[in-house]
Structure 1
Amino acid sequence: MVVLCGGQLLTKALTFGRLPMSILVGVMGYLFGMILGFLGNFWSWEIPLSVSLRRGAEAERVLLMQTLSDLPQLWITTGPARLVWPLESSEVFSVHSFAANLIENNFGGDVAFPFKLVWSPVVPSKICCFMWMVYHGNISTLDNLKRRGMILPNWCILCKCHEESISHIFYLCPFAVSIWESFKKGFDLHGPYPPSTRDFLIAWRGLWCDQRFSECIKLLPHAVLWFIWLERNNRIFRDVDSSPQEIGNKIVRMIGRWLRVCSRISDGLFHEWVTTGTKHLI
């Protein structure tokens, strides 16, 4: 059933932004009525012809009468109601139009979300989800937990010198810096690392020029951030710690396994990647 008003959908024809809630409820009851139950094989539809107003609410009464007098002819057409997607000319939902609208509204069209780096088909989905949360600043670092009202001492478990935040634990902490520097030496990565995951991922392609290991280097942000986070949790919850060199070895081998599973890297290049990646982990 589709309710039309003046040749268009009723929801588009009416504007109740200026009306008090009591009038809004009354008008909606007046227009749409109540479904009482079955009468034979059909719903019994009743539209009440009275609206209750507060005593002395003359202004509301005048506004209500003016609103009702401004309504064009109201009629109900038969046929099923349907959902309409306004972003497509076909009025059918599409992921493309939805994603384009999100990018336009959330990022103003200036900087597109680096979805190809965050949502890699090679990386396990839980790590891609983790990267997405890091990108938006939604992981449970101590500074985020304190902002949610938890009373906690805020210090970085990795360096034990500074407060824990996303930018510190992944980019500025001496523990994280030593891991990044080892890969910087091994794979000729250029430039400083922006202490923001958003800026870092956007600038990532400009930080490396070694084309031999391009498929491997694309996955470094996922692996490095993931293993730093695992190390942080192991120290807090299990009282187990690893050195930056041990973390670096795990990162190199994990990236190689991701690519070998998807047949993105040959055995020879895999061994060369492991040798080159671990050479500077001292």
Structure 2
Amino acid sequence: MEERKEWPIKLMWSSPILPKAGVFTWLALKKCILTGERLHRLGFLGPFRCIMCKKAEESLDHLLLQCEEAQTVWSFLLGKLGWMVPLPNIVLDLFSSWNIPSCRSVFSSLWLVAPSLVVWEIWNERNIRIFQEKEDSVESFLLRVERAIAESVLAAARNHNLAKHPYTSEDKNIQANWLLVNYQPVNGYLRVNPPLEKEEVKWEPPTKEWIKINFDGASRGNLGTSGVGVVARNDKGVILFKGAR
């Protein structure tokens, strides 16, 4: 009889976790994502070789854990966490055995957000390679994973109450090892802000007797609701035309 695995709810639905990464992890652990193996079972014609390593057929466990590139990402993460344990061959086993700190500190959410963001970023890279025919270097891929994790940790640590959950030696190690994890204690709370590069931007008039047209646009998602605005001024800054749609 197959042993029933403990369902890692905290690694999918805890508040610090990026919602889309948590939902994807839930679908992945239920084996509902459209890997090559699942497409084959649904009757689609292959080949369904792994786009990451190009050596094996693409199954859920291969893509997110067994593949050479996935192993590189997981080994990188475990090294950054200082938690060197053998990796299992099944994604559910990895999530079920994941180390979740019992006590809360400033950056303890790192352990909660990291696994779901790793599988989410592996899936994103897989799709970029298939549909956009682009491929990041290993270094760039690892940097993207690290940045995604660090930004989620920063978001969870904003307005952290140091009286309830003090800054610990573990937090100090995390801060030293991870990108963007900077903080500033203010009146007993933790104010966390990524470093910002400020640049003054102002409108410059065109050459005398010329007209300058400025425009900008935005879209809610790819092929979503869009808008555009335009304004025309002369060399004295007088608005000659403006419009939006």
Counterpart in the other structure of 1:168: 62
Contact 1:171–1:177 (CA under 8 A) maintained in structure 2: yes
Counterpart in the other structure of 2:127: 233
Counterpart in the other structure of 1:260: 154
Once the two structures are superposed, what CA deviation does each residue of 1:59-118 show, in whole Å capped at 9, x if it has no partner?
Answer: xxxxxxxxxxxxxxxxxxxxxxxxxxxxxxxxxxxxxxxxxxxxxxxx99x544221112
Contact 1:167–1:196 (CA under 8 A) maintained in structure 2: yes
Counterpart in the other structure of 1:197: 91
Alignment partner of 1:122 is 2:26: no
Aligned pairs for 1:236-247 (under 5 A) are 236-247=130-141
Structure 1 residue 275 displacement after superposition: 5.0
Contact 2:113–2:153 (CA under 8 A) maintained in structure 1: no
Once the two structures are superposed, what CA deviation does each residue of 1:118-142 show, in whole Å capped at 9, x if it has no partner?
Answer: 2121122221110001111110000
Counterpart in the other structure of 1:99: none
- Between the aligned partners of 1:268 and 1:184, the Cα distance in structure 2 is 17
Q: Relative to structure 1, is the Cα distance of residues 167 and 222 closer, same or farther in structure 2, using a 3 angstrom cutoff?
A: same
Task: In structure 2, give the amino acid aligned to 1:175.
Answer: E
* Equivalent pairs, count: 167
Q: Relative to structure 1, is the Cα distance of residues 262 and 182 closer, same or farther in structure 2, using a 3 angstrom cutoff?
A: closer
Structure 1 residue 252 displacement after superposition: 1.6
Q: TM-score, normalised by structure 1?
A: 0.53
Counterpart in the other structure of 1:274: 178
Structure 1 residue 212 displacement after superposition: 8.3
1:248 corresponds, among 142, 149, 156, to 142
Q: Larger strand proportion, structure 1 or 2?
A: 2
Q: Relative to structure 1, is the Cα distance of residues 113 and 249 closer, same or farther in structure 2, using a 3 angstrom cutoff?
A: same
Structure 1 residue 238 displacement after superposition: 0.3
Counterpart in the other structure of 1:30: none
Contact 2:50–2:63 (CA under 8 A) maintained in structure 1: yes
1:181 corresponds, among 75, 84, 92, to 75
Task: In structure 1, give the amino acid aligned to 2:61.
Answer: S
Task: In structure 2, give the amino acid aligned to 1:150.
Answer: F
- Between the aligned partners of 1:164 and 1:234, the Cα distance in structure 2 is 15
2:26 corresponds, among 111, 121, 132, to 132
Once the two structures are superposed, what CA deviation does each residue of 1:167-206 show, in whole Å capped at 9, x if it has no partner?
Answer: 1111111111111122233322232222222211111118
**Higher mean Cα deviation, 125-134 or 193-202?**
193-202
Indicate the percent of aligned positions where both proteins have the same amino acid.
Answer: 28
Q: Larger helix proportion, structure 1 or 2?
A: 1
Structure 1 residue 272 displacement after superposition: 2.4
Segments of 4+ moved more than 4 angstroms: 264-271
- Between the aligned partners of 1:206 and 1:194, the Cα distance in structure 2 is 17
- Between the aligned partners of 2:39 and 2:134, the Cα distance in structure 1 is 23
Which structure has the higher relative contact order (CA within 8 Å, separation 6+)?
2
Counterpart in the other structure of 1:218: 112
Structure 1 residue 276 displacement after superposition: 11
Partner SS, residue 80 of structure 2: helix
Counterpart in the other structure of 2:200: none
1:157 corresponds, among 45, 51, 62, to 51
Which of these two proteins has the greater Rg computed from alpha carbons? 1
Partner SS, residue 157 of structure 2: coil
RMSD: 3.1
Partner SS, residue 150 of structure 1: coil
Gaps of 5+ in 2: 161-166, 182-245
